[in-house]
Structure 1
């Protein structure tokens, strides 16, 4: 499990160490870890540290101090170091004294001979875009294509939302201390390295499932299981106009677990032609017992679609609401808010705007949390970083780190997977997060098959790689 912490949580954890330790000891510990990370980066980029040029761009406060101490330590290893002081009157005094004593040079702009730039402008307290003088410095850095290592967060990016409202630093590597922050999942921070500085951090309510966590939660048949005990997934999807959505959604449910899938709708013939193991019926009344319903992909928003949705929501079973069913719910949100059983909503940004009355905006975590609390449902907000918020509960972040899943029909596949996990008895947030993880991995696998380089993929190919993705956990 990878936990993400707010700035306040980090500061609270730092306070006892700052009070107990010698003045500046915690900063130097952080700077030493930063130095090691920068040295590794220099070796990878240039083959060594000695004789390489490093320039720290320094703001006021502790991040500037970290950058100056790291530059000082690198100077002691033979690097040529310089520093651009954006606010000389508020530069960390002790770090600056050590830097100049070690032979560091104060400069007005990044030297052309620089091999690597350290972004030490702002840290957890920073907000808003880069100021004009900092933006000018990093415009020149970008133009010269000099790699940047950011201290804690890339300056100009919001630590909590990952939003960049204007000029900001583009980092190749971000080195952070004590614990990860939401920005490290929600924004492009390059590669992220975490330096342990001894903080006593408890698990937070915002986290990311890793492969081992997904593996531990994914249902596998035991010696006494049968097709019923492993979960029976019901799928209400597809229409004469969009039969493919039913094929994709149902096929994903088949691939996700070893239980049973029942399909009810007008696309039964097409579904059976692809997945003969599915039990298909033309109506929900003939479908038989299930443990969870998936409703919406390609269903249509007419009376037939609404009737299928009302049927599922009136049961006491978990229901995942996607695609056309979300459009119906947007007009009648009370049908979800009044439910006591588990409901999972899986909107993309446009569907979210219809449900919530406004787009998610830059604070996607806050927006998902607000909608989840208002409707009493688990909300999976799709995106390159999928945000899963449980009502009055935790938030799961699921970074894709690639965009291969951004293809037509991909959401239908994800819905089928979530439905199968709900039918198997996995709690809603965990089911959504685990399915999102495997969905991303399946998309990435599909893009590199047959290789050797990634190539365009499709929802059908993502579906075909679900089992490989599960096996690779």
Structure 2
């Protein structure tokens, strides 16, 4: 996993370093120099413009400039606070103007056509905490950041302005980081291999979703669970006796339209995880049933609540007594109804606080998905893109997450892994014309591209 720290946390890490600032600056300058060489593709006849500010960010850029000159590169250094109306022509522009602590707006002259930009730590003018652009920051082809990712590189405008991001190790201790970006190897390590004597009930799930005449969400959730490794999928749509459109392999279980929580709780211990809410409807009966499941006795299987199930929880008190492990999967509108602020400057802190209040793992959907556990740990998934912004993909995610919980993955890791696999499945499908069922269909491909899990041999 890649550590993620706020500008304030990064300041504390810098202050705790045993080396003086000058040593850290030289290490950062070396990393910037190496990144510049990679973009230049050589040094003979190359011209580089380095825009440097007055702080450590500028010092990193000037250190890189010295190294480039020693390699024969023609370097022009410019003061970030006093730039000309037009920049000199160059083969590379190094943006070392302002770092993560910058406040105000930055509106530099335009980059000459065809000149790539290398940003040092973060593109100047991008808020290191929120990712919001202030002014007209340059869009970088590559950003070399130091020791850890910053939230501003992952949120809001940050990803589109940062380009490819490389984390350079300059010898700082980031073990205090409480947030991390999930990588494919992490997901592979969390997913258990099936035991040689495995049977379907060991990873069985029960999806309670949909309503009479509105069964699409239920079908998509069931398909997501099937493709993510559930050994058995039980599907119920309260009030619906027969569902001919359900996936062939699911087992349909009738539930009454009202009071169905009692029937679920009476038999829920036969499955390993329960997913509730997509397309369920917002009537009083559905809300009462969802609240009864959330309030069930400890020891029950993990519970995923999405969609209309979250609307039921929005009317309930924020705190709850001990119950089954609970995972909530809101988009921004649902996050707001649950008591969170989707526009909060520190999105990671906001999701973390909501998880603590709700005593649940919270998966806040977005271009970068933020997953927070009640104890404050945070994982971020960056695999998805705008193709997932189509109806029904969240229902597929509910099924994927429920299936991973059923396989014994802990709630925080299951939610982050589900977000990663869901995003990769979308990316492996078509660039245009993707629908939610395509995401479910590409889940096996997303699983297949994970690195081999050598540390997870089949269990006896």
Q: TM-score range by the shorter chain?
A: 0.7 to 0.9
- The answer to whether residue 164 in structure 2 is matched with residue 191 in structure 1 is yes
Which of residues 43, 46, 52 in structure 2 aligns to 1:58?
52
Instruction: State the alpha-carbon separation in 2 of the partners of residues 429 and 274 from structure 1.
Output: 28
Instruction: State the alpha-carbon separation in 2 of the partners of residues 342 and 405 from structure 1.
Output: 27
Alpha-carbon shift at residue 193 of structure 1 (Å): 1.3
Instruction: State the alpha-carbon separation in 1 of the partners of residues 392 and 334 from structure 2.
Output: 15
- The answer to whether residue 120 in structure 2 is matched with residue 120 in structure 1 is no
Which of residues 290, 298, 301 in structure 1 aligns to 2:279?
298
Instruction: State the alpha-carbon separation in 1 of the partners of residues 167 and 342 from structure 2.
Output: 33
- The answer to whether residue 454 in structure 2 is matched with residue 467 in structure 1 is no
Alpha-carbon shift at residue 345 of structure 1 (Å): 1.1
Change (3 A) 1:357 1:209: closer
Alpha-carbon shift at residue 400 of structure 1 (Å): 2.9
2:7 aligned residue: 7
Which of residues 193, 199, 207 in structure 1 aligns to 2:180?
207
Which of residues 331, 350, 355 in structure 2 aligns to 1:367?
350
Which SS does the other structure have where 2:249 is aligned?
Answer: coil
Alpha-carbon displacement from aligned partner over 1:386-423 (angstroms, at most 9, x marks no partner) = 00111132011111353222211000000111112222
Alpha-carbon displacement from aligned partner over 1:104-151 (angstroms, at most 9, x marks no partner) = xxx735534222211111123323432xxxx132xx21x735321111
Instruction: State the alpha-carbon separation in 1 of the partners of residues 134 and 223 from structure 2.
Output: 41
Instruction: State the alpha-carbon separation in 2 of the partners of residues 158 and 367 from structure 1.
Output: 17
Higher mean alpha-carbon deviation, 460-469 vs 5-14, is at 5-14
- The answer to whether residue 421 in structure 2 is matched with residue 438 in structure 1 is yes
1:93 aligned residue: none
Which of residues 155, 168, 176 in structure 1 aligns to 2:137?
168
Cα RMSD between the aligned structures? Answer: 2.4
Instruction: State the alpha-carbon separation in 1 of the partners of residues 309 and 384 from structure 2.
Output: 28
Alpha-carbon shift at residue 260 of structure 1 (Å): 1.7
Instruction: State the alpha-carbon separation in 2 of the partners of residues 364 and 50 from structure 1.
Output: 45
Change (3 A) 1:376 1:228: same
Instruction: State the alpha-carbon separation in 2 of the partners of residues 242 and 194 from structure 1.
Output: 46
- Is contact 1:4–1:181 with CA below 8 Å preserved after alignment? yes
Report how many residues are paired: 434
- Is contact 1:55–1:110 with CA below 8 Å preserved after alignment? no
Alpha-carbon displacement from aligned partner over 1:190-217 (angstroms, at most 9, x marks no partner) = 1111222222332621012211111121
With the length of structure 1 as denominator, give the TM-score of the two structures: 0.85
1:456 aligned residue: 433
Instruction: State the alpha-carbon separation in 1 of the partners of residues 369 and 113 from structure 2.
Output: 34
Which of residues 139, 144, 147 in structure 2 aligns to 1:178?
147
Q: What does residue range 257-336 of structure 1 map to in structure 2 within 5 Å?
A: 257-265=229-237, 266=239, 269-270=242-243, 273-283=246-256, 284=260, 288-289=267-268, 290-316=271-297, 317=300, 318-334=302-318
- Is contact 2:2–2:148 with CA below 8 Å preserved after alignment? no
- Is contact 1:13–1:199 with CA below 8 Å preserved after alignment? yes
- Is contact 1:58–1:84 with CA below 8 Å preserved after alignment? yes
- The answer to whether residue 105 in structure 2 is matched with residue 129 in structure 1 is yes
1:94 aligned residue: none
Instruction: State the alpha-carbon separation in 1 of the partners of residues 391 and 332 from structure 2.
Output: 15
2:388 aligned residue: 405
Alpha-carbon shift at residue 291 of structure 1 (Å): 2.7
- Is contact 1:246–1:267 with CA below 8 Å preserved after alignment? no
1:71 aligned residue: 65
Which of residues 405, 412, 421 in structure 2 aligns to 1:422?
405
**Structure 2: 5+ residue runs without aligned partners?**
451-460
Instruction: State the alpha-carbon separation in 1 of the partners of residues 227 and 29 from structure 2.
Output: 48
- Is contact 1:353–1:360 with CA below 8 Å preserved after alignment? no
Alpha-carbon shift at residue 370 of structure 1 (Å): 1.8
Alpha-carbon shift at residue 75 of structure 1 (Å): 2.2
- Is contact 2:49–2:88 with CA below 8 Å preserved after alignment? no
Q: What does residue range 346-361 of structure 1 map to in structure 2 within 5 Å?
A: 346-356=329-339, 358-361=341-344
Instruction: State the alpha-carbon separation in 2 of the partners of residues 345 and 215 from structure 1.
Output: 23
Alpha-carbon shift at residue 246 of structure 1 (Å): 0.5
